[in-house]
Amino acid sequence: MTAPTDTKAPVTATNFLRNAIERDLEANTYAGRHWGGSPGDAAHHAAGPLDPAKIRTRFPPEPNGYLHIGHAKSICLNFGLARDYAGVCHMRFDDTNPEKEEQEYVDAILDAVRWLGFNWEQNGASYLFYASDYFDFMYRAAETLIERGHAYIDEQNAEAMRATRGTLTEPGTNSPWRDRPAEESLRLFREMRAGKHAEGSMILRAKIDMASPNINMRDPAIYRIRFAEHHNTGNTWCIYPMYTFAHPIEDALEQITHSICTLEFEDQRPFYDWVLERLAEAGLLAHPLPHQYEFARLNLTYIVTSKRKLKQLVDEKHIEGWNDPRMPTLAGMRRRGYTPESLQMLAERTGASKSNSWIDYSVLEGCLREDLEGKAPRAMAVLDPLKLKLTNWDEVIGAGRVEACVAPAHPHHPEFGERRFNLTPEIWIEREDFEEIPPKGFRRLYPPQAGQAGNMARLKYGYVIECTGCEKDAAGNITAALARIVPDTKSGTPGSDSVKVKGVITWVSATQGIATEVRLYDRLFTEAQPDAGERNFLDALNPNSKRIITAWVEPGLANAQAEQKFQFERHGYFVADRVDSRAGEPIFNLAVGLKDSWAK
Ligand code: ATP
Ligand code: MG
């Protein structure tokens, strides 16, 4: 006998991060921490009460571009863990680099995180922080390291520093400035800060071990001279901390417990710990210190996620901006019709692992289909219209009359209500639903063939019709299909199924439907790994990633609200574009087809 499965077990799969947090909670690793009410040093936090947050995580983007699907994974992970373990997740802008950072990006990032469904405000407190607010502390930390013999000013030029760094197999060699007196380094560091030295003329380095097998521990740089204006601190500073020095300090000032980053930072963990330990020894920080964990970044096929490359696509106008519906940015995906729930689903399904892998783009599309299936009301739309004339209208329905049709808004959710539209003597059908000479097995409309009547099919929510022929222009192109209504077959009326047909046809009234712009999007790249190896990713751009058509849709869709999603029956999921739609004139974007058209 097998044990009954616990159906109430949380759906969230466990992973090494959850395990680590659960171990820490059990061991009370962080239970004695205090929280000073805002980020700060050891003394600041010691003066506050016990930290009510069981754990603290953070999402720390650099405001130098728009967030993409990879960031969504990190957001879901960090905010999700804090939510699940009675913690707090900090929203932190890692803005220690004076270049490339702009307010536009800050705003777009906050917007995207909120849209994804997460919030940095809790019980009236805001946990939105800017790393540049910690410059004073970082400077003080650097002076402390110098005073305690853990850092020195190196006057070698960049080339000499590179040459003495060693390789993976050979140790580096000490700088001639390595053993200069601490007072001298301190004086020079202060002069650096005062703007007395040129960019590149000297640098502050940690004094660790030039023979360390980990190259990151060979006296890494921690402060450099940059005469650059900073978006937050203006011209206050002309020296800026290196990322690898700044990051552990940011975490510690914010009392982060679990600092989660991507695998590339694994080799940086020893330096992360080194910085924090040295500052704790000096009393600037207190134990328990934050701990860094690395997980595999999300790699999705058929997209690029490097912000530099995304920016290049925007700057060189290969697409129409950061929020182009083909972009893997959250702004673009939102416009494309992706829902927060579908992205959360992707994050959940791809889990947190320690080894890099590629996730197929179709997994993402599958998440969206799954989310929209139960949520999106249905509608009929004709994307490639051919006119169909119902030639016996006057006899069956009556001249000048229309036939009211009713359809459920969703086949499995009666509570979504009903759609109402009229069948009229002329309607639009998909061009592919009529064949003058039908291929074998064709079930939709074709005219009488040798010795055989025209085929019958059902107009969805309407009558069974029998195809009688077609009209052509002088050049022989088919301009309209012709059919007769089979009386007494109206969907939903008694006896309507007495005539059996194999094909069902979607349609829109030619006189009452509305013509609307539809943007058919496809993958932006034709290669699964557009930026693999030495390849120029631009060579893999899909020239057919956007096609604009005029489609005919049910009259009710004139009222579609921006961002409202529909399943266009038999075609796929479409969303009313949130940027270009006008009141009463929606424009629809193809979010995802009903089936994976790329699968072999
Ligand atoms: P890029 O290298 O393109 O500039 P980045 O990783 O440097 O991107 P940040 O703004 O520094 O971008 O990233 C913020 C957070 O998002 C980091 O913690 C980073 O680890 C995480 N992140 C970025 N890309 C991914 C990804 N593909 N999968 C998971 N997490 C990611
Ligand atoms: Mg970065």
Question: For the segment 452-503, what is each residue's pLDDT rounded down to a tens digit?
Answer: 889 999 999 999 999 999 999 999 999 999 999 999 999 999 989 889 999 9
Tell me the two tokens of residue 346.
């992707």
What is the Å distance from ligand 2's center to 23 Cα? 29
User: Does position 10 have pLDDT exceeding 60, yes or no?
Assistant: no
What is the Å distance from ligand 1's center to 321 Cα? 20
Which of 59, 258, 262 gets mutated to test ligand 1 (max ligand atoms within 8 A of its CB)?
Answer: 262
Q: Does any ligand 1 atom lie closer than 6 A to the CB of residue 230? A: no
- Res 13: pLDDT: 66
Tell me the two tokens of residue 99.
């270049």
SS3 528: coil
> How many CB atoms sit inside 10 A of residue 413's CB?
12
**527-582 residue pLDDT tens:** 999 998 888 999 999 999 999 999 999 999 999 999 999 999 999 999 999 999 99
Q: Does any ligand 1 atom lie closer than 6 A to the CB of residue 391? A: no
Q: Band the pLDDT of 7: cuts 50, 70, 90.
A: very low
Closest CA to 379 of 465, 321, 460: 460
Q: Band the pLDDT of 598: cuts 50, 70, 90.
A: low
Residue nearest to atom 14 of ligand 1 (CA): 61
**C-alpha torsion angle, residues 245, 249, 250, 254 (rounded to 10):** 170
Single pTM value for the model: 0.93
- According to DSSP, residue 360 is labeled -
Ligand 1 atom with least separation from CA of 299? 27
Percent of the chain with pLDDT over 70: 97
Which of 69, 71, 265 gets mutated to test ligand 1 (max ligand atoms within 8 A of its CB)?
Answer: 71
Contact call for residues 419 and 406 (beta carbons, < 8 A): yes
What mean pLDDT do residues 365-379 have? 98
Which of 74, 258, 294, 361 gets mutated to test ligand 1 (max ligand atoms within 8 A of its CB)?
Answer: 74
Residue nearest to atom 4 of ligand 1 (CA): 307
Q: Does any ligand 1 atom lie closer than 6 A to the CB of residue 262? A: yes
- Res 9: pLDDT: 42
Q: Band the pLDDT of 187: cuts 50, 70, 90.
A: very high
What is the Å distance from ligand 2's center to 62 Cα? 6
Lowest mean pLDDT among 9-18, 282-291, 309-318, 471-480: 9-18
Positions marked active-site: 62, 297, 307
Q: Does any ligand 1 atom lie closer than 6 A to the CB of residue 62? A: yes
Q: Which amino acid is at 388?
A: L
Q: How far apart are CA 182 and CA 279, in angstroms?
A: 17
Residue nearest to atom 18 of ligand 1 (CA): 261
Q: Does any ligand 1 atom lie closer than 6 A to the CB of residue 55? A: no
Contact call for residues 250 and 94 (beta carbons, < 8 A): yes
Contact call for residues 361 and 523 (beta carbons, < 8 A): yes
What is the Å distance from ligand 1's center to 82 Cα? 19
